[in-house]
Structure 1
Amino acid sequence: MAERLEIEELMNAPRMKMFRKLGAHLRSRVRGLAVLFLFGFVIGYPIAGESIDWIINQSSLIPEDTQIVVLQPLELVLLRLQIAGYIGIMLVVMSLIWDAARYGKNLELGFEIGSVGKGLWALAKSLTLAIAGLIYAWEILIPFLLDYLHEDAADVGLQSTWHLQAWIGFLISLALGSALAFQVPLAVLIALRGGLVEREILTYYRRHLWFASIVVGAMLSPPDPLSLALIAAPMIVLFEFALLIDRIIPQ
C-alpha cells in the first residue's frame, strides 16, 4: 500500500506532469515534424547539388596525388538524397529546440520576453552554435583527418583513390555531426532553466552522460575511432561548460 502511494505521489509530481505534457505535445507534433522533414528534404535536394559542386571544386579538400572516382551511375543522385535527408533532420532538431524554449516552464533569459520571443532566442543561439560547429569542422576537424588518412595510406605505399559518395559523405557527416554536437550547451541550459531537470541529476549522472556523448558521437561521425573522439570530445567539453555557465550565472 505504501509503495502504491509512493508511485502515485511520484506520478503526480510536478516534473512528471511536465514530462507527460511534453510527451503529449510531441505526439501532437509528429505530423507537423514529418511535414517539416519532408519540406527540408525537398528544398535540400537542389541545395545538395550545389553543395556537391562547390565541394568538388575545393582543392584544399583533396590532398595531392588523390583521385576522386565515381563507381555507380546513380551515385550523385543517392548522395543528393542523403544530404537532403540531413537538411530535413536539421530542421526537425531546430523545431524541437524552438518548442523546448517556447514552452519551458521557468525559462529565464534575464529579461522579459514572450513565448515566441523565447523560441526566436533559442533559434538564434542554435544557429550561432551550429555555425561555430561548422567552422570547427571545416577549419580544424576535416583538414586534420584528411591529411591523417592520406599520410596513413602514403606511409604504406598506397595510392589514394577516394570513392565520391564515401568522400563527400565523410565530409558532410563530420560537418553536420559537429553542428549538432555544438547544440549540447543550449540543450542543457534550456533543460535546466526550463525546469525539465535539476542540476544535481545531471552532475550525479555525469559519467553516464559522457558515455552517451560517445555513443551519439559514434552515430554522428564516420566509423573510425579518431573521428569519434573528435566529435565526442567537444560534446563533453560543452556539456561541462554549460554546467559552469549555469553555476556562475544566476537564473
Structure 2
Amino acid sequence: MSDYPPEDSEIEASRAPLLEHLVELRRRLVVCVIALGVAFAICFAFATQIYTLLLHPFAIAAQLLAIREAEHVHPTGFNLLGVVTEAKNMFLALVGAKELPPVAGQVTKLVFTAPLEFFFTKVKLAGLGAVMLSFPVLAWQVYAFVAPGLYKRERRAFLPFLLAAPMLFLLGAALVYFMILPFVLWFSLSQQIVGAGSISVELLPKVSDYFSLVTTLLLAFGLCFQLPVVLTLLGMAGLVTSKMLMNGWRYAVVGVFVVAAVVTPPDPISQTLLALPIIILYFVSVLCVKLIEIRRGKAEAGRDVVSV
C-alpha cells in the first residue's frame, strides 16, 4: 500500500524528473508560439476589416450627430431628454435594431501623419487580435502544464474560472463597444465648431490615437470585469471571507469609482457606466464566496462525521 494519503498519491504518481518538466514546458511554449503566429497572420491579413469594424461606433456617433444637424436641431443649454434619446438610438443602431437614414456627404474620416503610422497600427491590432484569437490554445496549454501538480478537486475548481475569465472579459468589451465608445465619440464630435463663419474646429483623430483609445477602454473594462474571478479565488484560498467583503462594501464602492475615474475618459457618464456593473459584480462575488464557505462547511462537517 502507498504511504501517502489518496490526494497526495495523485501528486506522487504525476511526479517527473526536472528534465522532463523542462522538455514539456518547451513543447507547450512551442505550441503557444505557433498558435500566436498563425493567429497573428490571420489577423494581419484582415487587419483593415477589423479596424473598420472598430470604426463602426465612430461612424454611428458621427451619423447621429449629422442627422441632428441636418434636422436643424440646435438645443440651447443641457437637454437631458435629447441626450437620452440619442443614446438610445445609438445603442439600437449598434445592435442592428434600428437603421439610421444615410446623410449625404457624411464620411467618417481619420488621418495618419507619419508614413508608416497606419501600418504599425495594423501590426499592433493584429498582435492584440492574435492574443484574443489564440487564447483558448494558450489557456489550455497553461492548464495542461500545471494540472498534474494539482489535486483532483483543485482541477475541478480551476476549470470554471478558465471559462469565466474570457466570458467576463468579452462582457466588458461588449459594454465598451456598444455603450462607452459610442458615447465618448458622440460627445467628442459634439464639441466641434462648424458653420461659425471663418472659424472651424473639427475632430480629425489619428488612426493610432483612435486605436489607443479603443484598446485602453477594452483592456480597462475587460480587466475590471475579472473582479468576481479574483475575489472568488481569494475566497477559495481563505484570504477573504464574505463577512469581510460585506463589511468593506462602502470602501469597495469608493475604490470602484476611483478606478473608473482613472481608466475612463473624464466624463461622469462613462465613469458611471463602468462603476455600476463592477459594483454589481462585487456583490455577485460576495455571494460566490458565501457559497464556497457553505460548501466548505458541509465538507468539514462530513469529514467530522466520518472520523467519528
Same structural fold, with TM-score higher than 0.5 when normalized by the shorter chain: yes
Deviation at 1:167, TM superposition (A): 0.9
Tell me which residue corresponds to 2:266. Answer: 224
Aligned residues of 2:261 and 2:271 also touching (Cα < 8 A): yes
Give the one of 207, 224, 242 matched to 1:181. Answer: 224
Identical aligned pairs, as a percentage? Answer: 19
Question: Matched residue of 1:161: which SS?
Answer: coil
Give the Cα separation in 1 of the matches to 2:219 and 2:30.
Answer: 21
Judged with a 3 Å threshold, the aligned counterparts in structure 2 of structure 1 residues 67 and 87 are, in CA distance, closer, same or farther, namely closer
Is residue 72 of structure 1 aligned with residue 114 of structure 2? yes
Aligned partner letter, 2:188: L
Give the Cα separation in 2 of the matches to 1:238 and 1:82.
Answer: 31
Aligned residue runs from structure 1 range 1-251, under 5 A:
43-44=39-40, 47=43, 50-56=46-52, 58-62=55-59, 63-64=62-63, 65=106, 66-80=108-122, 82-83=124-125, 114-154=153-193, 158-217=201-260, 221=263, 223-226=265-268, 227-247=270-290, 250-251=294-295
Give the Cα separation in 1 of the matches to 2:284 and 2:188.
Answer: 31
Give the Cα separation in 2 of the matches to 1:210 and 1:39.
Answer: 42
Question: Matched residue of 1:197: which SS?
Answer: coil
* Cα offsets for 1:18-40 (capped at 9, x unmatched): xxxxxxxxxxxxx99x9999888
Q: Cα RMSD (Å) of the superposition?
A: 4.4
Calculate the TM-score normalised by the size of structure 1.
0.61
Aligned partner letter, 2:266: D
Aligned residues of 2:57 and 2:178 also touching (Cα < 8 A): no
Unaligned stretches of 5+ residues in structure 2: 1-24, 64-105, 296-308
Aligned partner letter, 1:55: Y
Judged with a 3 Å threshold, the aligned counterparts in structure 2 of structure 1 residues 132 and 173 are, in CA distance, closer, same or farther, namely same
Question: Matched residue of 2:167: which SS?
Answer: helix
Tell me which residue corresponds to 1:19. Answer: none
Deviation at 1:48, TM superposition (A): 5.8
Calculate the TM-score normalised by the size of structure 2.
0.52
Tell me which residue corresponds to 2:76. Answer: none
Deviation at 1:87, TM superposition (A): 6.5
Judged with a 3 Å threshold, the aligned counterparts in structure 2 of structure 1 residues 74 and 215 are, in CA distance, closer, same or farther, namely farther
Which structure: larger Rg? 2
Deviation at 1:165, TM superposition (A): 0.6
Aligned residues of 1:213 and 1:235 also touching (Cα < 8 A): yes
Unaligned stretches of 5+ residues in structure 1: 1-30, 106-112
